[in-house]
């Protein structure tokens, strides 16, 4: 008679969580909402530093890899140009050794200001996705639409995670007024 050998296998909760995360990361659909959540994480970093909570990620359209991520650092760096978008464009340029960011999408929590919009158009980003419009300084429709002023093939999508981003901005400015 051939006996069966039964091996008891024990797996810790940590191992199960790790395997689930590994599987989830492989199968996750990386869409606009996914990348805007990554930009939102950056915005929360800015918030914790006392910066206006704006964050962004620059994504390669072909392989969906994040090329650069950044958040506002104007107060920390004492630099008017230390906006999340400018920092991300600089990081991507240094990484790729090329100032052009063709075939990329920039996900940013708040519509870029006119300064950042100009840099985005110059860098040849193909698409921008943002959560909320910025009526005071926005460069893609909030205040002025630079894509109409300059020849551009930039595709614009707005409204992704709108409510969550508005709530974070409201909370930040209410705290600042106290």
Label residue 29 by pLDDT band (50, 70, 90).
confident
Whether the Cβ atoms of residue 115 and residue 81 lie closer than 8 Å to each other? yes
Q: What is the pTM of this model?
A: 0.84
Check: CB of residue 142 under 8 Å from CB of residue 133. Answer: yes
Higher pLDDT: 9 or 53? It is 53
Compute the distance between CA of residue 100 and CA of residue 119 in angstroms, rounded to an integer. 10
End-to-end Cα separation, the chain, in angstroms? 82
Supply the pLDDT for residue 9.
52
Q: Which two tokens stand for residue 113?
A: 């200001």
Q: What is the pLDDT of residues 95-153, one digit of tens each?
A: 999 999 999 999 999 999 999 999 999 999 999 999 999 999 999 999 999 999 888 88
Q: For residues 117 and 89, is the Cβ–Cβ distance under 8 A?
A: no
Pair 118, 139: CB distance under 8 Å = yes
What is the length of the chain?
Answer: 178
| Alpha-carbon gap, residue 115 to 131, rounded angstroms | 18
Of 43, 67, 37, nearest in space to 55 by CA: 43
Catalytic (active-site) positions: 85
């Amino acid at each position: 008679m051939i006996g069966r050998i039964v091996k008891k296998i024990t797996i810790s909760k940590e191992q199960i969580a790790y395997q689930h995360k590994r599987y989830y990361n492989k199968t996750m659909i990386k869409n606009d909402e996914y990348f805007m959540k990554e930009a939102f994480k950056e915005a929360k970093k800015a918030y914790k530093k006392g910066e206006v909570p704006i964050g962004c990620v620059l994504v390669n359209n072909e392989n969906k890899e994040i090329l650069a991520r950044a958040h506002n650092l104007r107060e920390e760096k004492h630099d008017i140009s230390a906006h999340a978008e400018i920092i991300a464009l600089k990081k991507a340029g240094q990484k790729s050794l090329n100032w052009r960011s063709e075939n990329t999408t920039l996900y940013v929590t708040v519509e870029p200001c006119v300064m950042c919009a100009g840099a985005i158009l110059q860098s040849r980003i193909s698409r921008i996705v943002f959560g909320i419009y910025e009526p005071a300084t926005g460069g893609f429709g909030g205040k002025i639409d630079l894509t109409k002023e300059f020849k551009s093939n930039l595709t614009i999508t707005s409204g992704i995670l709108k409510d969550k981003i508005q709530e974070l901005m409201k909370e930040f400015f209410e705290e600042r007024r106290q």
